[in-house]
């Protein structure tokens, strides 16, 4: 007991920077935003308690709420599975024993370092705009271009590509997982005459299922909160086809200065994320295999 | 040993804090004042402003002026957050519509009067119309800003259009269509969705006086709205403007559209204060007056301050901040240094000094004079409200993408504006 006390003090000192950061920059704003969600807080002036008014207004016909919810749902459905599938495919390729593979692993990770930045979003805009690089390439080989970011039917898919492109961190996790799969399983399968696809579906994927679950949850949470690509590239347009929830929240908070309303929106987003995270966890009982449960 | 190390660190931190406090104290003792000045702009504004601040510091060695400057994007959001957190700069450059929006939420800015600044330098109506809130003067206009119509005279002439044409709503269509007919990739006007909103506001102002009046009501009828939208439908149908699918990416940045940069667009609506940015390296650009229909109730052409300079009410150096403002607006040297960094000065002596020094370009002078001659009534603060603007923009977007007929657009605009105004 004495020993524990002796060593716990420096421990507290070591975690103090994080603890102070957590309390001041996360917990206090969290509690305050919960309080503000029941007020008419407009950033300037004192907030006035309005009870459930903000929540009532959101659910009783705020068209921008419904629209952004639809857009965000579509965005999550496009971006998350594509990103995970892409990360897994690249990880399987980069798991081969070939010369210089480390260089390729580094190169494929670079988008994740750059991906979330404003400069990349700007670059994306110039790649995909009407007279952008992609259309110039397409027309130079005789193919018709498209309004990748100007057509309401295409814009969300194009913006989602920015997210999908940042598959590096998910890929690394898959790569680490692939290294952990015992070679004996593959040998046994090959002796039994299993083909490559059968091996992938029956051995590789089940062995990686816990990593799939982790990536799925993390990427889903990130996707629900995404903001930068839509803000920088399309500002939510055209016709609000890329009006992500984060963007709507920002508009209410920092464009119209309805902080109370924006706080309520952020708590609703929290509830949505919590619900889908719980649902994913619940469903994982039937598809995630841990350790020797094969 | 560990205990000693911990003690040492604690003593070190405490000493650091004490010295930091001492440093602050000694700066107070010597009577020096540090004031922060914030503005947005580009290098053409940053450099002269920093130079003028340096000149002030040479004359007032006890004052240190710190500039906080950057681009336009996010400036307002940052400013409001700073005001709420009481960390905003002492002297702040704001856009004119923000004066009412921010002042409505409290005593954010210092009230100015004649004992502080020589107000005879300014046009009284200009101060009353644009710089006051509830009868209190809260800021000073940096310059006079008006709407203008930029035309590429070469592109017009190349398409058989007289570059000296006096533009009307009708001949914009009859003449303007020639450009798209001659080159399917070229258009008469550069109009991103936000610029289309400005055109709509001008048209409705001429037809009905305003979009939203000062009584917080929609000022146009459904018929008038339909007429306006039917007119602008011709702009899309005749290729006067590019489809929104090509321009929506350049919201609030029409000058970044390759079509405009590469000389495929002949004209553009703009503010005089930002036309240099829009013109860039383009040659053969001149300014013309905007179209006004016969019997217009209001030209809809806007004249307002380029920006407004205000003093933060939370500043601990309000008197000094006002002195700095006075210097920037009335001091001969400062006026020369600042030049036209914020448009043509709003002060009498500012205009005189720059004219004597030939610092006002012929293009800016003509555009400003043309705009002043055409200027209509100021927009109501309700029409300039961010949510009202967004409401208008949403309907304009739907209309521009062909999702609404003129009649539907008009009805929806009125219904949505009414709902928004009720909530404000």
Question: Is pLDDT above 50 for A294?
Answer: no
- Distance between CA B19 and CA B25 in Å, rounded? 10
Q: Which tens digit of pLDDT belongs to each residue from B292-313? A: 999 999 999 999 999 999 999 9
pLDDT of residue A218: 94
Q: Which has the minimum average pLDDT: A221-225, A229-233, B15-19? A: B15-19
Q: Which tens digit of pLDDT belongs to each residue from B126-182? A: 899 899 999 999 999 999 899 999 999 999 999 999 999 999 999 999 999 999 999
Burial of B170 (0-12, 13-18, 19+ CB in 10 A): exposed
- Distance between CA B339 and CA B241 in Å, rounded? 35
Are the beta carbons of A251 and B390 separated by less than 8 Å?
yes
pLDDT of residue B19: 40
Do B326 and B116 form a contact (C-beta atoms < 8 A)?
yes
Gap between the terminal Cα atoms of chain B: 65
Q: Backbone phi, then psi, for A277, in 5-degree steps?
A: -65, -45
Q: Quick one: CA torsion of B77, B78, B83, B89, rounded to 10 degrees? A: -140
> Which of A130, A249, A252 would you mutate first to test chain B, the one with the most B CBs within 10 A?
A130
> Which tokens in the block code for residue B123?
């046009």
Select from A44, A130, A255 the Cβ nearest to the Cβ of B83.
Answer: A44
Domains of chain A (ranges, CATH numbers): 53-285 (1.10.3720.10)
Are the beta carbons of B394 and A131 separated by less than 8 Å?
no
**Averaged pLDDT for residues A60-83:** 93
pLDDT of residue B3: 53
A21-25, A33-37, B271-275: which has the highest mean pLDDT? A33-37
Q: What is the pTM of this model?
A: 0.84
- Distance between CA B280 and CA B271 in Å, rounded? 14
Are the beta carbons of B398 and A256 separated by less than 8 Å?
no
Residues in chain A within 8 Å Cβ distance of B244: 150, 238
Q: Which tens digit of pLDDT belongs to each residue from A92-147? A: 988 888 777 778 778 877 777 776 677 788 888 889 988 889 999 999 999 988 99
Q: Which tens digit of pLDDT belongs to each residue from B41-71? A: 988 899 999 999 999 999 999 999 999 999 8
Residues in chain A within 8 Å Cβ distance of B249: 125, 129-130, 149-150, 233-234, 237
Distance of alpha carbon A186 from its chain centroid, rounded? 32
Nearest by Cα to B386 from A252, A109, A154, A215:
A252
Q: Which residues contact B388 (CB under 8 A, 6 or more apart)?
A: B212, B382, B417, B420, B421, B424
Rounded to two decimals, the ipTM of the complex is 0.81
**Averaged pLDDT for residues A151-176:** 90
> Which tokens in the block code for residue A18?
């994080």
pLDDT of residue B22: 38
The size of the A-B interface in CB pairs under 8 A is 70
Residues in chain B within 8 Å Cβ distance of A151: 245
Taking CA–CA distances from B244, the nearest residue in chain A reads A150
pLDDT of residue B14: 41
Are the beta carbons of A234 and B249 separated by less than 8 Å?
yes
**Averaged pLDDT for residues B115-122:** 87
Select from A13, A235, A239 the Cβ nearest to the Cβ of B398.
Answer: A239
Q: Which tens digit of pLDDT belongs to each residue from A264-275? A: 999 999 999 999
Report chain B's mean pLDDT, rounded to a whole number: 90
pLDDT of residue B261: 92
**Averaged pLDDT for residues A6-15:** 82
pLDDT of residue B27: 42
Helix, coil or strand: residue A238 = coil
pLDDT band at B120 (very low <50, low <70, confident <90, very high): confident
Q: Which tens digit of pLDDT belongs to each residue from B317-346? A: 999 999 999 999 999 999 999 998 888 888
Alpha helices in chain A (DSSP H): 2-21, 28-36, 53-59, 63-94, 101-114, 118-128, 133-140, 155-165, 168-180, 183-191, 196-199, 205-225, 228-229, 245-250, 259-284
Q: Which residues contact B50 (CB under 8 A, 6 or more apart)?
A: B67
Minimal C-alpha gap between B245 and chain A (Å): 4
**Averaged pLDDT for residues A273-279:** 96
Taking CA–CA distances from B83, the nearest residue in chain A reads A44
- Distance between CA A155 and CA A237 in Å, rounded? 8
- The DSSP symbol for A181 reads S
Domains of chain B (ranges, CATH numbers): 33-138+308-341 (3.40.190.10), 145-303+375-423 (3.40.190.10)
Residues in chain A within 8 Å Cβ distance of B108: 44
**Averaged pLDDT for residues B356-374:** 89
Report chain A's mean pLDDT, rounded to a whole number: 89
> Which of B249, B260, B265 would you mutate first to test chain A, the one with the most A CBs within 10 A?
B249
Do B345 and B145 form a contact (C-beta atoms < 8 A)?
no
Residues in chain A within 8 Å Cβ distance of B258: 129, 131
Question: Is pLDDT above 70 for B21?
Answer: no
Cα dist. B73→A104, A116, A218, B78 in Å?
37, 18, 30, 10
Are the beta carbons of A44 and B2 separated by less than 8 Å?
no
> Which tokens in the block code for residue B367?
């555009």
pLDDT of residue A124: 85
How many residues comprise chain B?
A: 424
Question: Is pLDDT above 90 for B235?
Answer: yes
pLDDT of residue B23: 40
Residues in chain B within 8 Å Cβ distance of A256: 386-387, 390
- Distance between CA B193 and CA B281 in Å, rounded? 24
Question: Is pLDDT above 70 for B316?
Answer: yes
pLDDT of residue A4: 60
- Distance between CA B238 and CA B393 in Å, rounded? 22
Minimal C-alpha gap between B344 and chain A (Å): 29
**Averaged pLDDT for residues B390-405:** 96
Helix, coil or strand: residue A277 = helix
**Averaged pLDDT for residues A67-87:** 95
């Amino acid at each position: 007991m004495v020993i524990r006390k002796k060593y716990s003090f420096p421990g507290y000192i070591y975690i103090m920077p994080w603890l102070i950061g957590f309390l001041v920059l996360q917990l206090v704003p969290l509690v305050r935003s919960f309080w503000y969600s029941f007020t008419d807080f407009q950033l300037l002036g004192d907030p006035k308690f309005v009870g459930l008014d903000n929540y009532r207004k959101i659910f009783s016909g705020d068209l921008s709420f419904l629209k952004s919810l639809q857009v965000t749902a579509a965005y999550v459905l496009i971006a998350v599975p594509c990103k995970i599938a892409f990360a897994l495919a690249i990880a399987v390729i980069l798991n081969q024993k070939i010369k210089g593979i480390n260089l390729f692993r580094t190169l494929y990770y670079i988008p994740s370092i750059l991906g979330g930045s404003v400069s990349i979003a700007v670059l994306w805009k110039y790649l995909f705009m009407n007279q952008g690089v992609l259309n110039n390439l397409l027309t130079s080989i005789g193919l018709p271009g498209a309004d990748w970011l100007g057509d309401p039917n295409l814009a969300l898919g194009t913006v989602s590509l920015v997210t999908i492109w940042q598959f590096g961190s998910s890929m690394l996790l898959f790569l680490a997982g692939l290294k952990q799969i015992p070679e004996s399983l593959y040998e046994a399968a090959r002796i039994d005459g299993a083909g490559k696809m059968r091996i992938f579906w029956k051995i590789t994927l089940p062995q990686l299922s816990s990593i799939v679950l982790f990536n799925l949850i993390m990427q889903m949470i990130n996707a629900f909160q995404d903001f930068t690509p839509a803000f920088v590239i399309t500002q939510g347009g055209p016709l609000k086809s890329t009006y992500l929830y984060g963007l709507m929240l920002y508009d209410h908070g920092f464009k119209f200065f309805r902080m109370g309303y924006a706080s309520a929106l952020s708590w609703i987003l929290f509830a949505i994320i919590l619900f889908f995270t719980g649902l994913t966890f619940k469903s994982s009982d039937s598809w995630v295999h841990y350790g020797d449960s094969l | 040993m560990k205990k000693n190390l911990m003690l040492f660190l604690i003593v070190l931190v405490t000493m650091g804090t004490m010295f930091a406090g001492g440093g602050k104290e000694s700066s107070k003792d010597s009577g020096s004042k540090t004031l922060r000045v914030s503005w947005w702009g580009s290098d053409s504004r940053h450099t002269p402003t920093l130079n003028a601040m340096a000149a002030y510091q040479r004359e007032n060695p006890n004052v240190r002026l710190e500039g906080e400057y950057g681009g336009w994007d996010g400036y307002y959001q940052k400013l409001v957050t700073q005001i709420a957190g009481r960390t905003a700069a002492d002297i702040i450059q704001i856009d004119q519509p923000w004066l009412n929006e921010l002042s409505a939420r409290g005593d954010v800015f210092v009230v100015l009067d004649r004992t502080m600044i020589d107000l005879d330098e300014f046009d009284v109506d200009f101060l009353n119309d644009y710089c006051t809130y509830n009868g209190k003067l809260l800021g000073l206009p940096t310059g006079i800003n008006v709407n203008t119509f930029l035309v590429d005279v070469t592109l017009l002439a190349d398409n058989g259009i007289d570059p000296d044409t006096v533009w009307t709503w009708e001949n914009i269509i009859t003449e303007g269509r020639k450009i798209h007919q001659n080159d399917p990739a070229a258009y008469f006007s550069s109009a991103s969705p936000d610029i289309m909103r400005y055109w709509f506001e001008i048209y409705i102002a001429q037809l009905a006086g305003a979009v939203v009046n000062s009584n917080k009501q929609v000022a146009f009828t459904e018929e008038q709205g339909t007429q306006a939208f039917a007119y602008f439908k011709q702009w899309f149908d005749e290729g006067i403007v590019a489809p929104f699918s090509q321009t929506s990416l350049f919201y609030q940045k029409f000058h970044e559209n390759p079509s405009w940069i590469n000389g495929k667009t002949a004209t553009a609506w703009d503010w005089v204060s930002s036309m240099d940015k829009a013109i860039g390296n383009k040659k053969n650009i001149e300014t013309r007056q905007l179209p006004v229909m016969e019997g217009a109730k209001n030209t809809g052409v806007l004249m307002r301050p380029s920006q407004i300079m205000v003093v933060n009410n939370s500043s601990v150096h309000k008197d000094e901040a006002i002195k700095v403002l006075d210097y920037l607006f009335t001091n001969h040297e400062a006026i020369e240094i600042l030049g036209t960094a914020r448009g043509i000065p709003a002060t009498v002596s500012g205009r005189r000094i720059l004219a004597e020094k030939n610092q006002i370009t012929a293009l800016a002078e003509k555009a400003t004079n043309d705009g002043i001659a055409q200027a209509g009534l100021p927009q109501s603060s309700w029409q300039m409200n961010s949510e009202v603007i967004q409401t208008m923009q949403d309907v304009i977007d739907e209309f521009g993408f062909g999702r609404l007929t003129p009649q539907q657009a008009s009805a929806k605009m009125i219904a949505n504006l009414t709902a928004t105004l009720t909530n404000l």
